[in-house]
Amino acid sequence: MRQRLDRAVREAAKFGAVGGAGLLVNLLVFNLVRHATDLQVVRASVVATVVAIVFNYLGFRYFTYRDRDKSGRTKEMTLFLLFSAAGLVIENGVLYTATYGFGWDSPLQSNVFKFLGIGIATLFRFWSYRTWVFRAMPAREAVARAESFLEQPPAAPAGRARPAGAGGVGTGGKR
């Protein structure tokens, strides 16, 4: 139980580190696009969210969940984009409601509601990514992969044949 809790805390910390960097990317791009272009607030936010989604995928795949199953990349990417799109709707729905529903559209108010939307969407993304996208490899499969690696005989040097019966690690003992 203690090991599972430790793993969950480490995972949450890594998710938070990538998410924190993604938050900075999101807010930086949002404010840059908002002030450098004539895009409306929510459209600028959508652009920023898409940039942050790409940034976060790279961080999650190669840092937070690098030890997770990598066999179904097409499925992984499809699910990631699906749940990221749902998070985009949540995040920008909060901003849309504040801006067009309540008329709160000053730069400070936009950033506050953008940040609030990101927070709500992050809870959804954390759950969906760890549950559906970056799934843990089943324990039996992980052990089987490790054992198959240990059982492979080392490659013979070029030009030299291996003597009969000379197996690698784990090939000569009982099972």
The CA distance from 70 to 114, in Å, is: 33
Per residue in 116-162, pLDDT tens? 999 999 899 888 988 888 876 565 555 455 555 556 655 555 555 55
Q: Give strand ranges (E) for 63-105.
A: none
Domain boundaries, the chain: 2-148
CB under 8 Å to 153, separation ≥6 — which residues? 162, 166, 167, 168, 171
Per residue in 11-37, pLDDT tens? 888 888 998 999 999 999 999 999 999
Looking at residue 175, its pLDDT comes to: 46
Looking at residue 8, its pLDDT comes to: 84
